[in-house]
Amino acid sequence: MASVQEAGQFYPSNEPVIGATYPGTVYPQNAKLPKLFQPLTIRGTTFKNRIFVSPMCQYSSDNGHATDWHLVHIGGFATRGAGAICMEATSPVPEGRISPQDAGLWADSQIAPLQRIVKFAHAHRTLIGAGRPPRFLLGSWVAPKEDGGWPDEVYGPSDIPFAPDYPTPKAMDEAHMQYVEDAWLKAVERCKTIGFDFIEFHGAHGYLLHSFLSPLSNTRADAYGGQPLANRMRWPLRLIARARAAWDKPLFVRISATDWAEGPEQAPDGTWTQWGIEQSKVFAGELQKLGVDLIDCSTGGLWAQQQIPLGPGYQVPFAEQLKKAYPNLPIGAVGLITEPEQAESYLNEGKADVVFLARELMRDPHWPILAAQKLGVAVKPANQYERAWPTVITPNTA
C-alpha cells in the first residue's frame, strides 16, 4: 500500500505502525506484552511504546535553523520504532543557546525546517516533540564573539559564574524575565504551527529554570530567589503555567533531581545547601497541580565540582522516588540505560513509566526492534527493514 500522509511523498504504509506490537491473536508471544511495549496514553495522545528518544544536542544548526543533518538524525529514530522523539534543546531566544550551532525557535523562518522533520516523523506514525531550554551558561567551551558567541550576554538568576573561566552572568530583572517568558510563549505558538505532538521544558543540567531552582546558583534577595523554596520555584512555575494554558497537548518537564554537590541537600539548621530530591518532590507536586503530564527525571549539570557515581541506571533511584511520591504522575527514567532487560525491569518494578535513551540510540538506532527481539515480543519493523528482523516478525507457535 502506498502512503503519502503528511510528508507529500511516497512511502510504503506500515500496518501496524513501526515499533508497535502485532496482535496477540496472531502472535502468541504477544499474549502478555512486556511493559516496554505497552502503549501509554497521556492527555489523549497514545504513545505506541515506552521507548522515548532524549533530546540530543547535535551542534549542526544554521543560525538556529534545523538542517538536513537533523532530518537524517531524527528521521532515523522515526523509522526504527521509537515511541516518541524529543528534538534537541531548542532555544526561544538566540542568547539562550548552548553554542552558536544549536537549534532555535525565536523566528518564523525556523518553522519550515522543523515542520519538514515533523511531517516525516508523522508520515511514519511516530510522535515528536520540541525540547526547549534557555540556558544561562555557554557550555564546556566558551565561544568568543568572533566565532558567533555572546559572552557578554549571558543571564541567570544571580551573577554567579559556573566556574572561574566561564562568563559571569547578569542577574535577570523582572523585565528580562518577562522578555524570556514572552519569547517562550511565542515559541509555543510556533510549535502549534509546526505540528509537534508534545513539548518538553528542559529545566535540568544548569539550564535557566534549573539555575533558578538551585540555591547554589540563585542567591537573589527578592521574591524569585534565596533560601525560600517557594521563591526559587516562583518564576519557573509562572512560566510553565502560562505554557500549560497555551498548549493543550502533552507537556513534559525535564528536571535535575540533584546537583550532586558535596554534603546533604539540607543543613541541620534547615538551610538548603543544594538542589536535591526533597525539593524536586515539592517542585514535581507543583508541576502536577499545573497540569504537567510527565516528569523526565535527570540529574546534575549545574555544579562544576559535581561528583557523579556513574553506573548503569545511576539516575533511576531519583525517578523511583518521584514515582513513589506521585503514583499518578508519569515519570521518565534516564541515565546509562543500555540493555532491554534493564529498561524493562525499571518499568515492571514501577520505578518509572517510560525510559529516555540517547547515547545507546546513537550507537544503535534500531534499539527498539532489538529490544523486542531480546524480550521475545513481535513488533513491526519498517517495511524497508523487515528482512533484517525475521525472528521479530515470525509468530511463535511453539
User: Percent of the chain scored above 70 by pLDDT?
Assistant: 94
Distance from the Cα of residue 264 to its chain's centroid: 27
Dump pLDDT digits (tens) for 227-281: 999 999 999 999 999 999 999 999 999 999 999 999 999 999 999 999 999 999 9
What CA–CA distance (Å, rounded) separates 102 from 191? 17
Indicate if 166 belongs to the active site.
no
Show Cβ contacts of residue 141 under 8 Å, excluding neighbours closer than 6 positions.
Answer: none
Instruction: Respond yes or no on whether the N-terminal peptide bond of residue 16 is cis (omega within 30° of 0).
Output: yes
The angle formed by the CA atoms of residues 141, 275 and 187, to the nearest 5 degrees, is 60
Q: What is the CA radius of gyration of the chain?
A: 21
Torsion of CA 319, 321, 322, 326, to 10 degrees: 140
CA–CA distance, 361 with 76 (Å, rounded to integer)? 10
Q: So where are the chain's domains? A: 2-388
Region 321-343: mean pLDDT is 98
* Sheet strands (E) in 1-125: 2-3, 11-12, 40-42, 45-47, 51-53, 84-91, 103-104
- pLDDT tens readout for residues 69-116: 999 999 999 999 999 999 998 999 988 888 888 999 999 999 999 999
pLDDT at 309 (0 to 100): 92
Q: Are residues 260 and 309 in contact, defined by beta-carbon separation less than 8 angstroms?
A: no
Tens of pLDDT along 25-71?
Answer: 999 999 999 999 999 999 999 999 999 999 998 999 999 999 999 99
Task: Report in angstroms the alpha-carbon separations of 277 from 62, 211, 212, 330.
Answer: 38, 15, 16, 17
What pLDDT was estimated at residue 225?
A: 97
Cα–Cα distance, 256 to 133 (Å, whole number):
13
Write down the mean pLDDT value for the chain: 93
DSSP letters for 262-292? SS-SB-TTS-B-S--HHHHHHHHHHHHHHT-
pLDDT tier for residue 195 given thresholds of 50, 70 and 90: very high
Q: Which CATH number fits domain 2-388: 3.40.50.150, 3.20.20.70, 3.55.50.30, 3.20.20.140?
A: 3.20.20.70
Rounded-to-integer distance, Cα 265 and Cα 217, Å: 14
Supply φ then ψ for residue 294, to 5 degrees.
-160, 140
Q: Which residue has the cell 544561562?
A: 136
pTM higher than 0.75, yes or no?
yes
Identify the band that residue 148 occupies on the pLDDT scale cut at 50, 70 and 90: confident
Task: Provide the pLDDT for residue 139.
Answer: 39
Cβ-count burial 381-393 (b if 16+ within 10 Å, e if not): bbbeeeeebeebb
Choose the catalytic residue: 155, 207, 224, 346: 207
Q: What is the pLDDT of residue 1?
A: 41
